[in-house]
Amino acid sequence: MSILPNCPECNSEYAYEDGGLLVCPECAHEWSLETENSEDQKIIKDSNGNVLKDGDSVSVIKDLKVKGTSLVVKIGTKVKNIRLIDGDHNIDCKMDGFGAMKLKSEFVKKI
């Protein structure tokens, strides 16, 4: 017998499976295991509110100074194949002319 998680609403231990859903008999809350697992992942959005995914292409929306150098990433610079990471700078990418760099999602828009 598999061990099912407690109800996320009332923390009841009597949840049961009904098709693809889990159901709580005490509060009648229904949920799926896929939703429960995806809640652990943080959703990262661009400056316009579009959800970003690994492999997306984005464009820089304002000039950004590169710390420690005199270089500036110009507005409109396109970045392909981004990778989402945890932290303050939540986009990891490679830019032509700059190399590997981390960006904040608030300064890009999805193409």
Give the C-alpha separation, 86 to 96, whole Å: 23
Name the pLDDT band for 107 (thresholds 50, 70, 90): very high
Q: Are 53 and 107 spatial neighbours (Cβ–Cβ below 8 Å)? A: no
* DSSP character at residue 51: B
3-state secondary structure of 84: strand
pLDDT at res. 39: 47
Q: Against a cut of 0.85, is the pTM above it? A: no
Mean pLDDT of 46-55: 93
Residue recorded with tokens 């970045």: 79
